[in-house]
Structure 1
Amino acid sequence: MTPRLEDVTPANFDAAIGIRIHPDQEHAVQPVVRSLAEAYVHPAGVAWPRLIVDDDRPVGFLMAFLDIDWYGDGSVRRSGLWRLNIAADAQRRGYGRFAVDAVADLVRGRGGTEMYVCWHPGAGGPEGFYLGLGFRPTGEVTEGETVGVRRV
Protein backbone atom coordinates (compact mmCIF):
# COMPACT_ATOMS: atom_id res chain seq x y z
CA MET A 1 0.00 0.00 0.00
CA THR A 2 1.45 3.34 -1.08
CA PRO A 3 -1.44 5.77 -0.85
CA ARG A 4 -1.08 9.45 -1.58
CA LEU A 5 -3.30 12.50 -1.49
CA GLU A 6 -4.20 14.46 -4.59
CA ASP A 7 -5.95 17.78 -5.03
CA VAL A 8 -9.40 17.38 -6.52
CA THR A 9 -9.12 18.74 -10.05
CA PRO A 10 -11.24 18.72 -13.20
CA ALA A 11 -9.23 15.67 -14.31
CA ASN A 12 -10.15 13.56 -11.27
CA PHE A 13 -13.46 15.14 -10.24
CA ASP A 14 -15.56 12.26 -11.62
CA ALA A 15 -13.38 9.74 -9.79
CA ALA A 16 -13.76 11.72 -6.56
CA ILE A 17 -17.54 11.95 -6.71
CA GLY A 18 -17.66 8.29 -7.75
CA ILE A 19 -16.33 7.12 -4.35
CA ARG A 20 -19.05 4.91 -2.86
CA ILE A 21 -19.06 3.73 0.75
CA HIS A 22 -21.02 0.72 2.03
CA PRO A 23 -24.76 1.41 1.69
CA ASP A 24 -25.25 0.76 5.42
CA GLN A 25 -22.82 3.62 6.17
CA GLU A 26 -24.58 6.24 4.06
CA HIS A 27 -26.51 7.54 7.07
CA ALA A 28 -23.22 8.40 8.79
CA VAL A 29 -21.35 10.45 6.18
CA GLN A 30 -22.27 12.83 3.39
CA PRO A 31 -21.38 11.94 -0.22
CA VAL A 32 -18.23 13.42 -1.72
CA VAL A 33 -20.14 15.76 -4.00
CA ARG A 34 -21.74 17.40 -0.92
CA SER A 35 -18.30 17.83 0.67
CA LEU A 36 -16.91 19.46 -2.45
CA ALA A 37 -19.88 21.83 -2.58
CA GLU A 38 -19.29 22.76 1.07
CA ALA A 39 -15.58 23.33 0.39
CA TYR A 40 -16.55 25.68 -2.42
CA VAL A 41 -18.84 27.85 -0.29
CA HIS A 42 -16.49 28.25 2.68
CA PRO A 43 -13.76 30.91 2.74
CA ALA A 44 -10.47 29.90 1.14
CA GLY A 45 -8.24 27.90 3.45
CA VAL A 46 -11.01 26.54 5.69
CA ALA A 47 -11.74 23.31 3.81
CA TRP A 48 -8.97 21.01 2.59
CA PRO A 49 -10.50 18.35 0.27
CA ARG A 50 -8.25 15.58 -1.06
CA LEU A 51 -8.66 12.40 -3.08
CA ILE A 52 -6.94 9.34 -1.62
CA VAL A 53 -5.24 7.39 -4.40
CA ASP A 54 -3.33 4.12 -4.29
CA ASP A 55 -1.50 2.90 -7.36
CA ASP A 56 -3.51 5.37 -9.48
CA ARG A 57 -6.79 3.97 -8.13
CA PRO A 58 -9.07 6.33 -6.18
CA VAL A 59 -9.81 4.59 -2.87
CA GLY A 60 -11.24 7.41 -0.79
CA PHE A 61 -11.77 11.04 -0.04
CA LEU A 62 -11.02 13.21 2.96
CA MET A 63 -11.74 16.78 3.82
CA ALA A 64 -10.06 18.58 6.69
CA PHE A 65 -11.25 21.77 8.33
CA LEU A 66 -8.57 24.27 9.24
CA ASP A 67 -8.68 26.87 11.97
CA ILE A 68 -12.45 27.30 12.02
CA ASP A 69 -14.32 29.48 14.48
CA TRP A 70 -15.94 26.52 16.29
CA TYR A 71 -18.70 28.40 18.13
CA GLY A 72 -19.00 31.28 15.67
CA ASP A 73 -18.06 33.85 18.30
CA GLY A 74 -14.26 33.89 17.98
CA SER A 75 -13.72 32.15 21.31
CA VAL A 76 -12.44 28.78 20.05
CA ARG A 77 -10.59 27.84 16.86
CA ARG A 78 -10.21 24.20 15.83
CA SER A 79 -8.84 22.04 13.04
CA GLY A 80 -9.47 18.42 12.19
CA LEU A 81 -11.11 15.85 9.97
CA TRP A 82 -14.42 16.99 8.50
CA ARG A 83 -15.23 14.11 6.16
CA LEU A 84 -13.85 10.68 5.41
CA ASN A 85 -15.23 8.44 2.68
CA ILE A 86 -13.39 5.19 1.98
CA ALA A 87 -14.70 3.17 -0.97
CA ALA A 88 -16.60 0.06 0.10
CA ASP A 89 -14.15 -2.27 -1.61
CA ALA A 90 -11.13 -0.49 -0.10
CA GLN A 91 -12.18 -0.51 3.55
CA ARG A 92 -10.17 -2.34 6.22
CA ARG A 93 -6.92 -1.86 4.27
CA GLY A 94 -5.44 1.07 6.21
CA TYR A 95 -6.67 3.93 4.06
CA GLY A 96 -8.76 5.43 6.87
CA ARG A 97 -5.77 5.41 9.22
CA PHE A 98 -3.65 6.93 6.43
CA ALA A 99 -6.22 9.73 6.02
CA VAL A 100 -6.40 10.48 9.75
CA ASP A 101 -2.60 10.51 10.00
CA ALA A 102 -2.38 12.84 6.98
CA VAL A 103 -4.73 15.33 8.64
CA ALA A 104 -2.80 15.01 11.93
CA ASP A 105 0.41 15.84 10.05
CA LEU A 106 -1.28 18.82 8.41
CA VAL A 107 -2.60 20.16 11.72
CA ARG A 108 0.75 19.61 13.45
CA GLY A 109 2.56 21.34 10.58
CA ARG A 110 0.34 24.38 11.08
CA GLY A 111 1.26 24.53 14.79
CA GLY A 112 -1.76 22.65 16.16
CA THR A 113 -1.58 20.21 19.04
CA GLU A 114 -5.05 18.67 18.75
CA MET A 115 -7.32 17.57 15.96
CA TYR A 116 -11.07 17.10 16.08
CA VAL A 117 -13.60 14.87 14.36
CA CYS A 118 -17.35 14.39 14.66
CA TRP A 119 -19.09 11.07 14.14
CA HIS A 120 -22.60 9.78 13.88
CA PRO A 121 -23.23 7.61 16.96
CA GLY A 122 -24.88 4.23 16.82
CA ALA A 123 -24.85 1.07 14.78
CA GLY A 124 -22.99 1.29 11.50
CA GLY A 125 -21.22 4.48 12.57
CA PRO A 126 -17.47 5.02 12.74
CA GLU A 127 -17.15 5.44 16.53
CA GLY A 128 -15.02 2.30 17.02
CA PHE A 129 -12.72 3.34 14.20
CA TYR A 130 -12.09 6.79 15.67
CA LEU A 131 -11.72 5.54 19.25
CA GLY A 132 -9.22 2.97 17.98
CA LEU A 133 -7.14 5.79 16.49
CA GLY A 134 -6.94 7.63 19.78
CA PHE A 135 -9.86 10.04 19.59
CA ARG A 136 -11.73 10.63 22.82
CA PRO A 137 -15.21 12.13 23.14
CA THR A 138 -15.14 15.71 24.42
CA GLY A 139 -18.66 15.51 25.83
CA GLU A 140 -19.88 17.87 23.11
CA VAL A 141 -22.52 17.03 20.54
CA THR A 142 -22.88 19.05 17.36
CA GLU A 143 -25.74 18.52 14.93
CA GLY A 144 -26.43 15.18 16.64
CA GLU A 145 -22.85 13.97 16.24
CA THR A 146 -20.30 13.13 18.91
CA VAL A 147 -17.25 15.44 18.96
CA GLY A 148 -13.91 13.71 19.48
CA VAL A 149 -10.37 15.03 19.95
CA ARG A 150 -6.88 13.56 19.87
CA ARG A 151 -3.38 14.93 20.24
CA VAL A 152 -1.37 15.28 17.06
Structure 2
Amino acid sequence: MAITLREITDENREAVLALRVAPGQEQFVSTVRYSIREAAENPHGNPWYRAVYAGDEPVGFVMLSWDVVPQPPHINGPWFLWKLLIDERHQGRGYGLAVVQQIVRLIEPEGAKELLTSYVPGDGGPAGFYERLGFTPTGELDPEGEVLMRLTLPWRDTAGPA
Protein backbone atom coordinates (compact mmCIF):
# COMPACT_ATOMS: atom_id res chain seq x y z
CA MET A 1 0.00 0.00 0.00
CA ALA A 2 1.23 3.47 -0.83
CA ILE A 3 2.03 5.82 2.01
CA THR A 4 1.96 9.58 2.31
CA LEU A 5 3.97 11.85 4.57
CA ARG A 6 1.77 14.49 6.21
CA GLU A 7 2.40 17.40 8.52
CA ILE A 8 1.33 16.98 12.10
CA THR A 9 -1.59 19.31 12.77
CA ASP A 10 -4.08 19.95 15.56
CA GLU A 11 -6.43 17.54 13.78
CA ASN A 12 -4.07 14.55 13.71
CA ARG A 13 -1.70 15.28 16.61
CA GLU A 14 -3.28 12.97 19.21
CA ALA A 15 -3.54 10.03 16.79
CA VAL A 16 0.12 10.46 15.79
CA LEU A 17 1.28 10.84 19.39
CA ALA A 18 -0.52 7.56 20.21
CA LEU A 19 1.66 5.55 17.79
CA ARG A 20 3.85 2.99 19.58
CA VAL A 21 6.50 0.44 18.68
CA ALA A 22 6.11 -3.19 19.71
CA PRO A 23 7.05 -4.20 23.26
CA GLY A 24 10.81 -4.66 23.48
CA GLN A 25 11.51 -2.12 20.73
CA GLU A 26 11.36 0.92 23.01
CA GLN A 27 15.12 0.75 23.56
CA PHE A 28 15.66 1.29 19.82
CA VAL A 29 13.36 4.21 18.99
CA SER A 30 11.88 6.99 21.09
CA THR A 31 8.21 7.91 21.19
CA VAL A 32 6.74 10.43 18.81
CA ARG A 33 6.16 12.84 21.71
CA TYR A 34 9.82 12.62 22.77
CA SER A 35 10.99 12.97 19.16
CA ILE A 36 8.99 16.17 18.63
CA ARG A 37 10.35 17.57 21.89
CA GLU A 38 13.88 16.59 20.80
CA ALA A 39 13.31 18.43 17.51
CA ALA A 40 12.24 21.57 19.37
CA GLU A 41 15.30 21.37 21.65
CA ASN A 42 17.70 20.89 18.72
CA PRO A 43 16.78 23.44 16.04
CA HIS A 44 20.44 23.47 14.90
CA GLY A 45 19.76 19.93 13.58
CA ASN A 46 17.20 21.43 11.16
CA PRO A 47 14.55 18.85 12.06
CA TRP A 48 11.92 17.98 9.46
CA TYR A 49 9.25 15.52 10.55
CA ARG A 50 6.03 14.03 9.24
CA ALA A 51 3.36 11.52 10.15
CA VAL A 52 3.32 8.44 7.94
CA TYR A 53 -0.14 7.59 6.61
CA ALA A 54 -1.52 4.52 4.88
CA GLY A 55 -4.73 5.81 3.36
CA ASP A 56 -6.37 7.91 6.05
CA GLU A 57 -4.72 6.13 8.98
CA PRO A 58 -1.50 7.25 10.69
CA VAL A 59 0.87 4.27 10.82
CA GLY A 60 4.20 5.88 11.68
CA PHE A 61 6.47 8.85 12.15
CA VAL A 62 9.67 9.97 10.43
CA MET A 63 12.12 12.74 11.26
CA LEU A 64 15.22 13.94 9.38
CA SER A 65 17.95 16.45 9.78
CA TRP A 66 17.22 18.32 6.56
CA ASP A 67 20.24 19.60 4.63
CA VAL A 68 22.10 20.53 7.79
CA VAL A 69 25.75 21.55 8.05
CA PRO A 70 27.38 18.49 9.64
CA GLN A 71 28.97 19.10 13.03
CA PRO A 72 30.13 15.63 14.09
CA PRO A 73 29.72 13.98 16.41
CA HIS A 74 26.53 15.77 17.48
CA ILE A 75 25.00 16.74 14.13
CA ASN A 76 25.24 14.23 11.32
CA GLY A 77 24.30 15.09 7.81
CA PRO A 78 23.63 16.89 5.68
CA TRP A 79 20.80 14.33 5.35
CA PHE A 80 20.22 12.23 8.46
CA LEU A 81 17.31 9.88 9.11
CA TRP A 82 16.90 10.85 12.75
CA LYS A 83 13.76 8.84 13.63
CA LEU A 84 11.70 6.16 11.96
CA LEU A 85 8.83 4.64 13.88
CA ILE A 86 6.20 2.28 12.50
CA ASP A 87 3.36 1.54 14.91
CA GLU A 88 3.36 -2.00 16.30
CA ARG A 89 -0.01 -2.76 14.64
CA HIS A 90 1.41 -1.87 11.23
CA GLN A 91 4.88 -3.41 11.25
CA GLY A 92 5.81 -6.03 8.68
CA ARG A 93 3.72 -4.48 5.89
CA GLY A 94 6.48 -2.66 4.01
CA TYR A 95 5.78 0.78 5.46
CA GLY A 96 9.37 1.29 6.68
CA LEU A 97 10.72 0.58 3.20
CA ALA A 98 8.07 2.87 1.68
CA VAL A 99 9.11 5.70 4.02
CA VAL A 100 12.77 5.38 3.02
CA GLN A 101 11.74 5.31 -0.66
CA GLN A 102 9.74 8.52 -0.18
CA ILE A 103 12.54 10.22 1.74
CA VAL A 104 15.04 9.37 -1.01
CA ARG A 105 12.64 10.77 -3.65
CA LEU A 106 12.42 13.98 -1.62
CA ILE A 107 16.11 14.53 -0.91
CA GLU A 108 17.75 13.45 -4.17
CA PRO A 109 16.39 16.48 -6.08
CA GLU A 110 17.77 18.63 -3.23
CA GLY A 111 21.28 17.41 -4.08
CA ALA A 112 21.65 14.67 -1.47
CA LYS A 113 24.45 12.23 -2.23
CA GLU A 114 23.85 10.03 0.80
CA LEU A 115 21.36 9.43 3.60
CA LEU A 116 22.81 8.72 7.01
CA THR A 117 21.12 7.07 9.95
CA SER A 118 22.11 5.40 13.20
CA TYR A 119 20.80 2.61 15.36
CA VAL A 120 21.14 1.27 18.87
CA PRO A 121 22.84 -2.14 18.69
CA GLY A 122 21.00 -5.08 20.23
CA ASP A 123 18.86 -8.12 19.62
CA GLY A 124 15.61 -7.19 17.92
CA GLY A 125 17.01 -3.86 16.74
CA PRO A 126 16.75 -2.27 13.29
CA ALA A 127 20.24 -3.16 11.99
CA GLY A 128 18.96 -5.90 9.68
CA PHE A 129 16.20 -3.68 8.32
CA TYR A 130 18.67 -0.96 7.35
CA GLU A 131 21.14 -3.47 5.90
CA ARG A 132 18.40 -5.00 3.69
CA LEU A 133 17.76 -1.51 2.32
CA GLY A 134 21.42 -1.08 1.42
CA PHE A 135 22.69 1.01 4.35
CA THR A 136 26.26 0.14 5.31
CA PRO A 137 28.09 0.92 8.55
CA THR A 138 30.42 3.92 8.32
CA GLY A 139 32.69 2.45 10.99
CA GLU A 140 31.79 5.27 13.38
CA LEU A 141 29.70 5.48 16.53
CA ASP A 142 27.84 8.55 17.72
CA PRO A 143 28.41 9.88 21.29
CA GLU A 144 25.58 7.64 22.61
CA GLY A 145 27.17 4.53 21.08
CA GLU A 146 24.77 4.24 18.13
CA VAL A 147 26.18 2.72 14.96
CA LEU A 148 26.25 5.19 12.05
CA MET A 149 25.15 3.90 8.64
CA ARG A 150 25.16 5.33 5.13
CA LEU A 151 22.91 4.81 2.11
CA THR A 152 24.70 6.03 -1.02
CA LEU A 153 22.51 7.90 -3.52
CA PRO A 154 21.32 7.43 -6.14
CA TRP A 155 19.83 4.38 -4.50
CA ARG A 156 19.26 1.15 -6.35
CA ASP A 157 16.39 -0.19 -4.25
CA THR A 158 17.10 -3.87 -3.75
CA ALA A 159 14.59 -4.39 -0.94
CA GLY A 160 11.57 -4.83 -3.21
CA PRO A 161 8.36 -2.96 -3.88
CA ALA A 162 6.74 -0.72 -1.30
Shared fold per TM-score greater than 0.5: yes
Alignment of 1:33-112 (within 5 A): 33-43=33-43, 46-71=46-71, 77-112=77-112
Measured in 2, the distance between the counterparts of 1:77 and 1:4 equals: 24
Task: State how many pairs are aligned.
Answer: 150
**What's the RMSD between the two structures over aligned residues?**
1.8
Q: Secondary structure in 1 aligned to 2:37?
A: helix
Q: Secondary structure in 2 aligned to 1:61?
A: strand
Percent of aligned pairs with the same amino acid? 37
Of 9-18 and 43-52, deviating more is 43-52
Measured in 2, the distance between the counterparts of 1:140 and 1:62 equals: 23
Q: Amino acid of the residue matched to residue 90 of structure 1?
A: H
- The Cα offsets for residues 109-131 of structure 1, whole Å up to 9 and x where unpaired, read as 21111000001112011000000
2:31 matched to which residue of 1? Answer: 31
2:145 matched to which residue of 1? Answer: 144
1:129 matched to which residue of 2? Answer: 129
1:22 matched to which residue of 2? Answer: 22
Distance 1:109 1:31, change over 3 A: same
- The Cα offsets for residues 18-58 of structure 1, whole Å up to 9 and x where unpaired, read as 00110110000111001111222333881111001112111
Extract unaligned runs of 5+ from structure 2.
154-162
Contact kept in structure 2, 1:86 and 1:96, CA below 8 Å: yes
Extract unaligned runs of 5+ from structure 1.
none
Contact kept in structure 2, 1:80 and 1:107, CA below 8 Å: no
Q: Amino acid of the residue matched to residue 55 of structure 1?
A: G
Of 103-112 and 132-141, deviating more is 103-112
Runs of 4+ deviating beyond 4 Å:
none
Measured in 2, the distance between the counterparts of 1:150 and 1:72 equals: 18
Contact kept in structure 2, 1:117 and 1:149, CA below 8 Å: yes
Q: Amino acid of the residue matched to residue 150 of structure 1?
A: L
1:119 matched to which residue of 2? Answer: 119
Measured in 2, the distance between the counterparts of 1:130 and 1:63 equals: 16
Distance 1:10 1:114, change over 3 A: same
Measured in 2, the distance between the counterparts of 1:99 and 1:91 equals: 12
Contact kept in structure 2, 1:21 and 1:87, CA below 8 Å: yes
Q: Please give the TM-score of this superposition, normalised by the length of structure 2.
A: 0.86
Q: Please give the TM-score of this superposition, normalised by the length of structure 1.
A: 0.91
Contact kept in structure 1, 2:65 and 2:77, CA below 8 Å: no
